[in-house]
Structure 1
Amino acid sequence: MQTITSLFVNRSQRDMFNVLAVLLLLQIAAAVALVVPWDFRAPEREPVRLLTAMQDATVRELQIEDMQGNVIHLIREDDGEWRFNDFDGYPASNILSDQLIEDMVELDDARPVTQTAGSHDRLRVGEENFERRLTVTLDTGEDVVAYVGTAPLPRATHVRAADQQAVYISTDLKHREVSTQITRWLDTVYYSEGQNDIREFNLTNPNGTFSFKRGEDDQWMMEGLAEGEVFNPNNLISLVTTVSTISLTRPLGKQELPEYGMLNPQAVATFRVQDDDEDEMVSIVIGANTERANRVVVKSTESEWFVEANRFTVDRLIERTRDEFLVKQPAPAPAAEPVQEEVPAPVEEPETTPTESE
């Protein structure tokens, strides 16, 4: 006969086993829920598009806003090219703009989160509290508005059509795809040229004017060397690298403004570009500092637009001195002081004392 103690122990073991079994089943269910694709868990009904007005219309304008007052406003031309509404129509990225429009068209109601307005602020999809507000203007003249909110998953966001209360989860719109950073929506390379195609280079800055040419052996030579001076090409090559690719931080526009400092630039680099198809002179003008820290105005003769660039990328053009293009000569050794010969001191003869006999 089992004792009361043994019965209690066996029952406790069975209870613990049952608890562990339940926990194991819950873990398996959670793992399956994470692994199985969303499409397998979606409702059987066909999802309904959220922004139905966009389905058969052409988008003419796109605006992206955040709560900090940043706005990206893009215009779609008749030829399908995208441009900024600001900056005198600076070219925008066609690929990224078209992709965002396609993603907005694909938004649907397959994954509902809430049907009431009470959660809008918490999910950041409210009219006055949002992560992003997207507004597209159609060729019909209608504006379609959608809100992008918080991210419940690494590659998903909460979304809401402005004319609906319901909020849904979407994997079509990620935060980086609705950025309000200007550089997200354009090619940041303002000017680019192959370094080997630059055959002559002239630089004018506060330290003077310096001119260089490539010889027949493709090696750089400095003009105006004085007797005994030796050219150091390394610091020139770094300048050629600088002007061969100029990146912008934002476009400014086509109109030259007095504050751009073009009448009194900090530096002007003019160089000859030669290849199989062209032989032309190009100038890169470094104007005034802008109101933003460590930014300067830049203008290339190859572009209609003035742009802003990071100052550190063009500092070499502004600060390079003539001595930096020369091989440093060793300082002359100080002249040796003449050696004076030591004159021996005269030897004094000892005095003799006379004796009594004398």
Structure 2
Amino acid sequence: MSTFNKILIAALAVQVALAVIIQARSGSDEQIRRPEPLLAKAGLDQATRIAIYDFRAPDKGEAEAPAIELRREGDGEHSTWVLGNYWGAPTKSGTVTELIDKLAALRTSGPAVTSEVRHDQLEVAADHYRRKLEIESPSGVTTLYVGKPSRARTTFVRMNDDTDVHAVSGISDGGISALVTSWMDNRFFEADFDRVTSLSVVNQNGSYEFARGEDGAWQYMQGEQPYPIPEGKKLNAIAVTNWVKSMVRIVSTQPEDPNRDLSQPLATITVRLKPAQPAGEAGEVGEAGETGEAAVSEAPEEHVFEIGPESENENAYYLRMRGTSKAIRVAKARIRPVVDMNDEVVLISAED
């Protein structure tokens, strides 16, 4: 064998050896960098509190407080999530579960940055972040800083006091809302229009009461008897229907303090309902083993709403349900005709 051929064989052997070494190292790196749950030790499935802090920059001098505080009430399957910093208002169904699932799905293959120097630049510093989450569970408190997006469609995040910064997908500051409207259940009160037996309104213009007659038509009442409507006038039955409809579906724009002083309300509105039909049709066996008709309560329902001015929003009223710990901000446009009810709109010309 010539010297040249020996050189070629030796070079080939070196190339094969290098390929084997590279392949081995590649396999080792894949094993080491296999994505793992970022928040495996946070106890997400047993979380009792999740606080969401809005964007914070180093020049912000005010005391740090969460924009949203989600708290779990109750145990097991019967537990519910409420807004702890909004007087325990209920959360919208599925919103907190969706957030927990999102956090549980975060995966990391290792830190993208290991230097504390870059925390401020990536907006994951303790005093400079786009979102901060505090997750409380029996495992303790886990803090997650959510920073700016990276170029690879991921977001930089940092945990607790770690210097390591991870780039993860499936989360962003925009996807974790710091607005109460994103988390609250805006359904404050709902009732079937056909169940309403009467509507009473007391405001600065007087007292008004409307009740359904035996034929289902609205009557203007004076105590227990129909009001003697003057000749040439008639009850504005269309308006009464609209007033009732506005009160059987009340939508909240924001929770409010139920303990606010409302000794002089703008209006007090009472909605009375006939007993609700049980889930099963009449004659069917219900959960308690009774037929539908037998399960109906004999007592009608009465719901009293107290309306006050809303100091922070001129386009809204403060509304509280008497006898409960529930109060909300409600759009003026929706119930203003009821609040401002007067004689001129109740009785109209018989020719109209």
TM-score by length of 2: 0.70
1:166-181 aligned at under 5 Å gives the runs 166-181=164-179
Matching residue within 39, 45, 50 for 1:51: 39
CA distance in 2, matches of 1:313, 1:270: 16
Q: Is the 8 A contact 2:93 2:185 kept in 1?
A: no
> Residue type matched to 1:317 in 2?
V
Indicate how the Cα distance of structure 1 residues 152 and 205 shifts in structure 2: closer, same or farther if over 3 A, else same.
farther
CA distance in 2, matches of 1:166, 1:293: 47
Indicate how the Cα distance of structure 1 residues 311 and 122 shifts in structure 2: closer, same or farther if over 3 A, else same.
farther
Partner of 1:75: 71
Q: Where in structure 1 are there 5+ consecutive unaligned residues?
A: 1-41, 332-358
CA distance in 1, matches of 2:307, 2:151: 45
Matching residue within 205, 211, 214 for 1:213: 211
CA distance in 1, matches of 2:162, 2:239: 62
Q: Is the 8 A contact 2:268 2:307 kept in 1?
A: yes
> Residue type matched to 1:167 in 2?
V
CA distance in 1, matches of 2:272, 2:193: 11
Alignment of 1:251 with 2:245, yes or no, is no
Question: More strand per residue: 1 or 2?
Answer: 2
Q: Is the 8 A contact 1:125 1:147 kept in 2?
A: yes
Indicate how the Cα distance of structure 1 residues 156 and 242 shifts in structure 2: closer, same or farther if over 3 A, else same.
farther
Partner of 1:240: 244
Q: Which has the higher contact order (CA 8 A, sep 6+)?
A: 2
RMSD: 3.0
Indicate how the Cα distance of structure 1 residues 176 and 269 shifts in structure 2: closer, same or farther if over 3 A, else same.
farther
1:288-299 aligned at under 5 Å gives the runs 288-299=309-320
CA distance in 1, matches of 2:242, 2:152: 42
> Residue type matched to 1:185 in 2?
W
CA distance in 1, matches of 2:66, 2:48: 20
Indicate how the Cα distance of structure 1 residues 113 and 308 shifts in structure 2: closer, same or farther if over 3 A, else same.
same
CA distance in 2, matches of 1:205, 1:220: 20
TM-score by length of 1: 0.69
CA distance in 1, matches of 2:93, 2:242: 33
Partner of 1:103: 102
Question: Aligned residue pairs: how many?
Answer: 285
Q: Which moved more, 1:300-309 or 1:109-118?
A: 109-118
CA distance in 2, matches of 1:312, 1:56: 41
Q: Is the 8 A contact 1:43 1:110 kept in 2?
A: no
Matching residue within 142, 150, 159 for 1:161: 159
Q: Where in structure 2 are there 5+ consecutive unaligned residues?
A: 1-28, 57-64, 222-226, 278-295
Partner of 1:308: 329
Partner of 2:84: 85
CA distance in 1, matches of 2:202, 2:152: 51
Identity fraction in percent: 22
Q: Is the 8 A contact 1:243 1:284 kept in 2?
A: no
Q: Is the 8 A contact 2:211 2:220 kept in 1?
A: yes
